[in-house]
Structure 1
Amino acid sequence: MSENRIYLASKSPRRKELLQQVGIAYEVLLLRDAPPRGPDVTEIVLPGEKPQAYVARVTQEKADMAWKVIQLRGLPQRPVLAADTTVVLGEQILGKPANRDAAIAMLSQLAGQTHQVLTSIAVRSALGLHTVTQCSDVSFAAMNQAEIAAYCDTSEPYDKAGGYGIQGAAARYIANIRGSYSGIMGLPIFETCQLLEAAGVRTTTDRSL
């Protein structure tokens, strides 16, 4: 590769921060900006679709769409990274709450329970498509309705799957995690670096290697 740089097919500030944390140079690729604009990716759960299949499908569609956008716009061909995160309680997928009532309902379900956070990542390049889905367990302590309502009065729940952010005030109520902290935030760094290396992107900070 002529330059060690990728496209990030996400506007998530958390994913940007995580890439910066490990020194991966990126350029945000805004898929829905014209011209030209590629087809939208549907995030609707298909009938009978299991959570892991859902999050993997959405992520792969984002990566494929991003690769098409690169070609349509005549941009330099660099690997593109896409990701999607979903929160699962049992087999129920909890998306981003649309309003305060929805956020309160989600947090009421999660309080005192252990749920799963699935983050699927995909790297699309001239070498093909590489994907992986990382799963972490998150255990919430019990929360009373006043605590839930106070958290939902902040801005945190409304752009996050499951209605909470582990890196924010919700950490006060998270009793235990098993898995990847960065994966719960939205981008599992270990797996991301593995996929980027497979696509020809050097992720080590030791430039002598």
Structure 2
Amino acid sequence: MTLILGSASPRRRELLAQLGVTPDAILPPDIDEEPRRGELPRPYCARLAAEKAAAVAAGPEDVVLCADTTVALGRRILGKPADAGEAARFLVALGGRRHEVITAVAVRRGDRLWQREVVSQVKMKRLSDLELNAYLASGEWEGKAGGYAIQGLASAFIPWISGSFTGIVGLPLAETATLLAAAGVPLYRAAA
């Protein structure tokens, strides 16, 4: 059995290591991540995780782990900003409000798919112009759903969360451990 991580995210690799699991291969899938017309955030996130898992080439006994993280402001999906201007618009919209961070995890072994979605609530403070411009200049927003990374500089902007911190980072460990165990992946092994 080979464990394939279908993600290029170094944070997901780091989180997986906390379970004592090291992927045998890292094969990020290339799928269309554009939301469908009228698609709501949670079903969108679940669909992407499942599509990513299906898109990774694997043998019948291989286990594929994929995830997708989506930031939702009400019914609005805030994906990865295309540029600093869009990141600024996201951060201003999130400021002073609660929003949801949804992470869907999909584990595939052969034709079998196990899947979970974890929804966490996050409150971001209103950013001053100085904070906003400094954060944008850091580049940390690049490639991050909603334009921020809670585990980085943006942690100073988040006074409150409810839910899974690791889910907000990008891989909810309790749920991921359950799914991997169901697929037969040994957990909690010290790195060799």
What range describes the TM-score normalised by the shorter chain of this pair? over 0.9
- Structure 2 residue identity aligned to 1:103: A
| Greater gyration radius | 1
State how many pairs are aligned: 190
Map of 1:1-209 to 2, 5 A cutoff? 5-31=2-28, 40-66=30-56, 69-71=57-59, 77-126=61-110, 128-205=112-189
- Structure 1 residue identity aligned to 2:13: K
After TM superposition, the score normalised by the length of structure 2 is 0.93
- Structure 2 residue identity aligned to 1:19: L
1:179 Cα deviation from its structure 2 partner: 0.4
* Shift in CA distance, 127/99, structure 1 to aligned 2, threshold 3 Å: closer
**Distance in 2, Cα, partners of 1:28 & 1:148:** 37
1:31 Cα deviation from its structure 2 partner: 4.7
SS at match of 2:58: helix
Which runs of 5 or more structure 1 residues have no equivalent in the other structure? 33-39
Give every structure 1 segment of 4 or more consecutive aligned residues whose post-TM-superposition deviation is greater than 4 Å. none
The 10-residue stretch of structure 1 (21-30 or 178-187) with the greater mean CA deviation from structure 2 = 21-30
Percentage identity across paired residues of the two chains: 43
* Shift in CA distance, 114/31, structure 1 to aligned 2, threshold 3 Å: closer
**Distance in 1, Cα, partners of 2:103 & 2:76:** 15
Q: Is the 8 A contact 1:11 1:28 kept in 2?
A: no
1:203 Cα deviation from its structure 2 partner: 1.5
* Shift in CA distance, 31/87, structure 1 to aligned 2, threshold 3 Å: closer
**Distance in 2, Cα, partners of 1:120 & 1:190:** 13
* Shift in CA distance, 31/143, structure 1 to aligned 2, threshold 3 Å: closer
* Shift in CA distance, 147/132, structure 1 to aligned 2, threshold 3 Å: same
Q: Is the 8 A contact 1:111 1:143 kept in 2?
A: yes
* RMSD after superposition: 1.7
1:149 Cα deviation from its structure 2 partner: 1.3
